[in-house]
Each structure stands twice: as C-alpha cells, then as structure tokens.
C-alpha cells in the first residue's frame, strides 16, 4: 500500500480557501477525413455498325493498406437477371507503393446479387491503383428479361448502370468519392452526365456502393431542356429516335415539379432521365438514384404510351423506403402512376381508366395471383406471372386501403396522408419500415388495418369497392383469356432456353412448339402478359434448323373485375 503524505495544515487551508479553477479538457484531435475513392471513366470511340466499344476504368483507393488475403474489390456477376462485365472485362491490374498486387478472384453465387470478390495476393501498402477495360456490346442479353442495366452504345456515345461495370472497394468503409470523365476518344462536342449531375462529380463521405445504383452517359448527347439546371428534371439521349422526345420530356418535367409538391418535398431534387433503345423490354426501364433509364423499341415508340412508365418511375424518387419486398414500392408506384397525372390535369379520365383496367385485367386473370408474398422474391425471375404480382396486387391493396380510410374518416383522410408521412420519415431519418407502416395503418383502421395487410401478404384477393377509384368509375366485370405460355415458364430462364413441360392442346403445341426446342425471343413477357391480343414469336432451333414459331399465349377464359365510366359525373370530379 502506497502512503500519501499529508499536506501541511497551512497549505491545506490555503487550498481550501482559494477559488476553484475549472480544468477544461483539451479538445480531441479532429478525426481524419475518410479516404478518397477516385473513379475515372474513359469511353473509347464506338463502332456503331458492330454495336461495340469499351470503357477504360481507373480506380484509385487511398490508404488501402491491407494484409495478404484481405478482400479488396467486388462486382456483381449477375444482378436482376442481367450479366455484368465480371466475366468479360480485360486487363485487370492493381498496383500499390510496392508495385504490382496479384488479385485472387472468388465467386459468391449464393449472394442476393451473384458477386465476384477480388482479394489481395500479398499485403497492400498505401494507395491502390486499379485499371481494367469494360466492353460495350449491343448484343441482346442471353438471359432474356431483365432491367436495361448493361453498357450500350448509340449515336457515338455510351450509357449504362454502375452495377454492371464499376468495381468498388469491399466492406462498409465510407469514402469521399470523385467521379471523373475522359472524353478525349469521343466525337467533338461530347459531354457526360450521371445520376450525380453533369460531368465530373464530387460526393461526400458515403458507401462506395452508391456508384452501382447510378446511371452514366457520355457522348454527343441531346438534352431536354436544352439548358440543364443542377436541380429539377433533365433528360438526355444519344442518336436519332423514331419520335420527337422533347414534348414527352417537357410533360415529364412538369409532372416532376407537381409531384415534388404533392410529396411535400422542401426542395425540388435533381432527376435525370436517359432514353435508349432496348431490344428485349422496350417501353420499360430502371429506376436508379434520382434518375431513370427509359427505353424505347419497335413495340414502344409512342410517346403517349411512355408517359405511364415515366410517372411510375418518378414516384420511386420519393417512395423508396426500408420496407422489405416490392409490394410497397412497386404497388404504390402503380397506384399513383395515372392518379397523380390525373390530379395534375395532365391526362384525361379515360387514360386513368385504361390504366386501372390494364392493371386489374392482368391481376384478376393471373392464375398465380394467390401466391404468398414470401414466395415472390425467390421465384421473381422464373415466371412473369410471379414477377408482376408485387405491382398488380400491391396497387389493388392500396386502392382497397384508400377506400377504407376515406370511409372510416368520413372523407377527411386518405391513403395520401400515410404515404406522405412515410416520405417525411425517410427524409428526416425516422423509421420508415414495415412496423412504421403498420402503426400508421392501425391508427387509421384499428385492427382491421393489419388484418388487411396480412391478407395481402398471404396472397388473398385484393378487390376494391365499386367507388374506390372515385365517383367517376364503377366496378363491373368482363371475360378474358388467362396468360399461358403453354409450357413450363422456367424454360425461358438461363443462357440456353430449352422448352420443357409442353402442354398438349395448348396454343404453343398447336403452333408447332416441341419439348427440347431451344428458343430465343426479343420481347418482355411482362408486357405480353398484359396484352390480350399480343402474339409471341419464339425463334426455335431444332435439328440444326432455326425458324420462328408465333402464337397467342392464352389459355382458358375467366371472369375478371374491371371499372367503367359512370355517366353524368363531370370530368372535374374524377381526380379523387
């Protein structure tokens, strides 16, 4: 035991009498800024006739010190049924302060996005410089239906989604990120843009994965409006389109501003739209960070018919939340995709009615519409009837919920109040998950709210009341043929598509299709499913010969709910 000598009495008395002096602790040293992650994209001159080119990618990861075997880089191999450049990139090299760093690749097929990981073959010291070449190839994707993510060339330029060609550092470490473009190989006057803005961009500290959910385009772009603002709506495309996109983009820009007010957004966020050709799913697209990739093609070049797609995808800007599954995000986008333009006075009631009936017809004729939500994710890409369920059933769920809230509140409340609250929660960082959603629904309807929600998730039929779409529309019914390929839908999954489970007497069998036929096709089954009159052409290879088989992919005729215009109610009352 250590003894502490007593202080002299006088000194002790003096100390007690003296005023206390506050000891202010020294401030802690400032935390070092997150390391810098620099990405430079250099597109080559593009071969338009061959539909090929490449993008040279340079990555610089500051302070990348890591031990031998440490994970360094990652890229999906397949994302949303779309191949990336993981198997086709060339010239991948990595160097640090001590020279070349060997990279060891490992695949993870069990991941949500089947991914490749590159680890260090030796210890890494200092900054890591990575270079590789990402090919651009317009060949239609072998896997068939999937979002139009891949690098594609048009009009002397290139566009694509980051998840298909940008390697990112492994782990959750935040980085300050700089995006740079080198356009020296592109035609004169070329410019570049991304979901992060025009040209080069600097991003605050954050996860490098944000680069994957962004759009990128470079080349002799055409713009609408011609003068691009840093915020608000802007569209870009390359080459000549078979229609004038400017009126459509002006319409979309006006709607974007209206939606910003509807969702009570205190600022009008930037929103970029890229238009490009799609040989598989023309008319569809992909929603990314503050941006959307809209596609056109031989079956989708009517600007009026592209309005619904634009409206749908813009809604995702505000309604993306932490809820699992797609019933919320896609369902609410379908619910509002015609309703908000109707309220804004930008489409006619007849257009709204067409949209409602298209969704209802596809949902109520769907032979798999009782599939529980928990099965949708695992089966999403194997069958278009599964793939469309979150959209159609989600939309009808929200219509039912809206009607019940309006009736319970005597017209003082609606679904809008819940959605705007979810948007607010997300914006300010409050919980916006399924528990938050159920609490809001319970607040409106009591125990009946969660019960309805559970029914939707269980696959029970969602049927709005006659007036749930407003006083202009009443429920009726019609008879329609179910979508039916006539064979096992999984036959169309994978690089090689071989017909299995052909149904005797089906339209496919009568058209001459056989088990064992290897087929390719160039249309999206989702759009074929929704069109009662749409014929399907499969290019069949059998016994060394290739030939087309065309038929109407429909089966039995069933009753389905629809809505019709109520006579005598003026258009002014239709925007419910």
111 lies in the same domain as 176: yes
Residue 522 included in any domain:
yes
Which residue's entry shows tokens 């390391």? 35
Q: If DSSP codes are grouped into helix, strand and coil, which group holds residue 519?
A: strand
Residue 3: the pLDDT is 34
- 359 burial level (CB within 10 Å; 0-12, 13-18, 19+): buried
**Full residue range of the structural domain in which residue 498 is found:** 485-552
Residue 525 falls within a domain, yes or no? yes
* 265 and 193 part of one domain: no
Instruction: Count CB neighbours of 568 within 10 A.
Output: 6
Q: Are 477 and 562 in contact (CB under 8 A)?
A: yes
Residues 233 and 277 in one domain: yes
What is the count of structural domains for the chain?
A: 4
- Low-confidence stretches of the chain (pLDDT < 50) are 1-22
Picking from 286, 318, 350, the residue at the C-terminal end of a domain is 318
**CA gap 181, 164 in Å, rounded:** 18
Burial of 139 (0-12, 13-18, 19+ CB in 10 A): exposed
Boundary of a domain, candidates 261, 296, 318: 318
Question: Does 574 reside within a domain?
Answer: no
- Domain assignment present for 558: no
Tell me the C-alpha to C-alpha distance, in Å, between residue 21 and each of 8, 12, 139, 194, 448.
21, 16, 77, 57, 64
Q: How many residues does the chain have?
A: 576
DSSP string, 284-325: -EEEETTEEEEEEBTTB--HHHHHHHHHHHHHHHHH--S-SS
Per the domain annotation, does 62 fall within a domain?
A: yes
Maximum pairwise Cα distance, the chain: 114
CATH of the domain at 491: 2.30.42.10
- Domain with residue 44: its CATH number is 2.60.40
pLDDT in tens, 255-282: 999 999 999 988 777 788 999 988 777 7
Helix (H) or strand (E) holding 97: none
Q: Are residues 183 and 237 in the same domain?
A: no
Asked whether residue 404 falls in the same domain as residue 431, the answer is yes
Regarding whether 451 and 304 lie in a shared domain, the answer is no
The answer to whether residue 3 is domain-embedded is no
Q: Which of 466, 404, 427, 435 is nearest to 328 (CA)?
A: 435
Structural domain includes residue 561: no
Task: Give me the CATH number covering residue 308.
Answer: 1.10.390.10
Looking at the fold, whether 273 and 414 belong to one and the same domain comes out as no
With beta carbons less than 8 A apart as the criterion, state whether 153 and 53 touch.
yes
3-state secondary structure of 453: helix
561 closest CA partner among 488, 487, 464, 484: 464
DSSP 8-state assignment for residue 399: H
pLDDT of residue 309: 87
Same domain, 301 and 336: no
Distance CA(154)–CA(138), nearest Å, equals 9
Look at residue 324 in the predicted model and tell me its pLDDT: 67
61 and 164, same domain (yes or no) = yes
ω into residue 272 within 30 of 0, thus cis?
no
Cβ neighbours of residue 345 under 8 Å, at least 6 residues apart?
Answer: 575
Q: What separation in angstroms does the CA of 426 have from each of 316, 320, 430, 437?
A: 13, 8, 6, 12
Q: Is residue 575 part of a domain?
A: no
Do 458 and 515 lie in one domain? The reply is no
| Judgement on whether residues 115 and 64 belong to the same structural domain of the protein | yes
Q: Quick check: 538 and 461 in contact, CB under 8 A?
A: no
β 152-154/157-161 pair status = antiparallel
SS3 per-residue string spanning 524-574? CHHHHHCCCCCCEEEEEEECCEEEEEEECCEEEEEEEEEEEECCCCCHHHC
- Residue 419's φ and ψ, nearest 5 degrees, are -65, -45
Q: Which of 298, 318, 338 is the last residue of a domain?
A: 318
In the numeric block, which tokens belong to residue 130? 């990575």
What is the rounded CA–CA span in Å between residue 520 and residue 538? 6
| Nearest CA-CA partner of 287 in 147, 164, 167 | 147
**Strands 271-277 and 291-296, sheet pairing:** parallel
CB atoms within 10 A of CB 354: 14
If asked whether residues 65 and 118 sit together in one domain, one would say: yes
């Amino acid at each position: 035991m250590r003894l502490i000598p007593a202080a002299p009495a006088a000194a002790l008395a003096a100390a007690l009498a003296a005023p206390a002096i506050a000891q202010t602790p020294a401030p802690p040293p400032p935390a070092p800024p997150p390391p810098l992650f620099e990405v430079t994209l250099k597109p080559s001159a593009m071969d338009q006739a061959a539909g090929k080119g490449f993008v040279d990618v340079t990555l610089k990861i500051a302070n990348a010190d890591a031990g031998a075997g440490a994970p360094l880089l990652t890229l999906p191999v397949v994302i949303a049924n779309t191949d990336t450049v993981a198997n086709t990139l060339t010239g991948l090299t990595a160097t640090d302060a001590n020279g070349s760093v060997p990279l060891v690749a490992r695949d993870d097929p069990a991941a949500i996005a089947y991914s490749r990981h590159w680890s260090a073959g030796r210890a890494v010291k200092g900054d890591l410089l990575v270079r590789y070449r990402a090919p651009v190839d317009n060949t239609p994707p072998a896997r068939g239906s999937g979002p139009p993510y891949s690098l594609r060339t048009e009009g002397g330029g290139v566009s694509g989604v980051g998840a298909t060609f940008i390697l990112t550092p492994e782990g959750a470490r935040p980085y300050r990120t700089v995006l740079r473009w080198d356009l020296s190989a592109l035609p004169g006057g070329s410019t570049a843009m991304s979901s992060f803005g025009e040209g080069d961009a600097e991003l605050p500290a954050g996860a490098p994965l944000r680069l994957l959910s962004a759009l990128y385009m470079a080349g002799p772009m055409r713009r609408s409006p011609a003068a691009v603002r840093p915020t608000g709506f802007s569209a870009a495309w390359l080459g000549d389109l078979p229609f004038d996109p400017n009126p459509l983009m002006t319409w979309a820009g006006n709607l974007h501003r209206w939606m910003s007010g509807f969702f009570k957004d205190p600022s009008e966020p930037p929103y970029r739209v890229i238009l490009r050709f799609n040989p598989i799913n023309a008319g569809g697209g992909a929603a990314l960070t503050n941006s959307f990739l809209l596609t056109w093609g031989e079956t989708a070049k009517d600007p009026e018919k592209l309005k619904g797609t634009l409206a749908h995808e813009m809604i995702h800007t505000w309604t993306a939340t932490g809820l699992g599954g797609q019933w919320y995000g896609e369902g609410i986008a379908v619910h509002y995709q015609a309703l908000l333009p109707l309220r804004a006075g930008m489409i006619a009631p007849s257009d709204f009615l067409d949209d409602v009936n298209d969704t209802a017809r596809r949902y109520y004729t769907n032979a798999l519409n009782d599939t529980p939500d928990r099965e949708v994710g695992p089966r999403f890409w194997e069958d278009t009837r599964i793939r469309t369920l979150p959209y159609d059933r989600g939309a009808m769920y929200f219509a039912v919920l809206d009607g019940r809230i309006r009736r319970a509140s005597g017209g003082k409340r609606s679904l809008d109040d819940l959605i705007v609250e979810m948007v607010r929660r997300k914006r300010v960082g409050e919980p916006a998950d399924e528990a938050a959603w159920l609490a809001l629904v319970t607040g409106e309807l009591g125990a009946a709210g969660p019960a309805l929600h559970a029914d939707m998730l269980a696959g029970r039929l969602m049927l709005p009341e006659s007036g749930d779409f407003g006083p202009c529309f009443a429920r009726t019914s019609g008879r329609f043929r179910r979508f039916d390929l006539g064979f096992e839908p999984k036959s169309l999954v994978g690089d090689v598509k071989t017909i299995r489970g052909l149904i005797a007497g089906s339209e496919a069998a009568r058209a001459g299709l056989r088990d064992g036929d290897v087929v390719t096709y160039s249309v999206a089954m989702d759009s074929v499913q929704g069109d009662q009159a749409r014929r399907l052409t499969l290019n069949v290879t059998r016994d060394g010969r290739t030939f087309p088989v065309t038929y109407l992919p429909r089966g039995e005729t069933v009753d389905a709910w629809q809505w019709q215009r109520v006579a005598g109610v003026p258009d002014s009352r239709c925007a419910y």
